Amino acid sequence: MIDSETKVLGIFGDPIGHTLSPIIQNAAIKELGLKMVYVPFHVTPGNLKDAVASIKALGMPGVNITIPHKERVMEFLDATTDEARKIGAVNTIVNRDGHLTGHNTDGAGYITSLKAETGFECSGKNIVILGAGGAARGIMAAILAEAPASVTLVNRTVDRADSLAEDLGSECAEVKIHTVPLEKGPLQPRIEAADLLINSTSVGMGGKVPFNPLVLSLDKLPSEAIVSDIVYKPLNTALLRSAKMTGHTVHKGLGMLIHQGALGFELWTGEKAPVETMRKAALKALDITE
Ligand code: ATR
């Protein structure tokens, strides 16, 4: 029952219709029997400042932030974590007694999901990341904190990979960082040395346009390497299907979504998130089985 004790959580975005966060967060709230509700709010860029002020005014424990506000919202907050500052984006705001702190749980959510679902440890490993956009930023920051041997950023627009390497890599002199264009020649040697290959691009979303096998082939990827895709619609992307055919272990995209949400839930409520309940709710909403 919703009454005067009920705390309101939510997500601010524009558009907001596509988000799965209310489904997974309300499933977690229900499972733990908390007096809370999580609501999607359609917040346009012109209303972002007032919407953030309303978190304090309404005594909300916090909110998630999604496109297109993840970068600009930082100017309206009282503080940001080091990780969010390095990434340059906030996906979770926590309200502690009227003090708003911006966090970024995307990268940590990715790493938690990777470890939980495959047991992979990044320390000392060679990691190849396809993409250099917002998602790659979060993942790269979290991976660098785990002290890998090397990270290769592969992007269609190589300048974007170079800026990401410069922004995040400068503080990690001990990690070798390579940037390469999405072309077979420069990419192949990196693939042959990889322990983990991550697709952080939108390629493969909606079941469309897999990577051209003439550019990206998994034939020479070491057999114990893991192939990971952050796309979760479909769950079995073309990239993961080819990885299964070459006998590689795969890591699916839904885990990152669930775990970034679980970390937010824990920050707002102080309770351990019921991750399996959240996963089941997401699978049901997507109308898919694992
Ligand atoms: P997000 O926040 O989801 O990461 P983004 O910042 O727009 O979104 O980044 C999208 C990433 O997917 C980029 O690395 C982009 O490559 P470019 O920087 O060259 O644009 C990559 N991407 C999108 N469509 C692609 C395609 N068809 N082929 C290769 N890379 C693609």
pLDDT at 212: 86
User: Tokens for 119?
Assistant: 């047991």
- Is the CB of residue 136 less than 8 Å from the CB of residue 149? no
- Class of residue 246 by CB neighbours under 10 A (exposed 0-12, middle 13-18, buried 19+): middle
Confidence band, pLDDT 50/70/90 cuts, at residue 42: very high
Residue-wise pLDDT for 115-160, tens only, equals 999 999 999 999 999 999 989 999 999 999 999 999 999 999 999 9
User: Tokens for 186?
Assistant: 């420069």
SS3 sequence, 48-115?
A: HHHHHHHHHHCCCCEEEECCCCCCHHHHHCCEECHHHHHHCCCCEEEEECCEEEEECCHHHHHHHHHH
In ligand 1, the atom with minimum distance to the C-alpha of 200 is 4
- Is the CB of residue 61 less than 8 Å from the CB of residue 98? no
Name the pTM for this structure: 0.93
Residue with tokens 């991550």: 198
Binding pocket residue ranges, ligand 1, CB within 6 Å? 131-136, 155-157, 160, 182, 201-203, 209
Ligand 1 pocket mutation pick from 69, 129, 156 by most atoms within 8 angstroms of CB: 156
Residues with active-site annotation: 70
- Residue whose CA is at the smallest distance from ligand 1 atom 5: 133
- Residue whose CA is at the smallest distance from ligand 1 atom 27: 203
Judged against a pLDDT cut of 80, whether residue 289 lies above it is answered with no
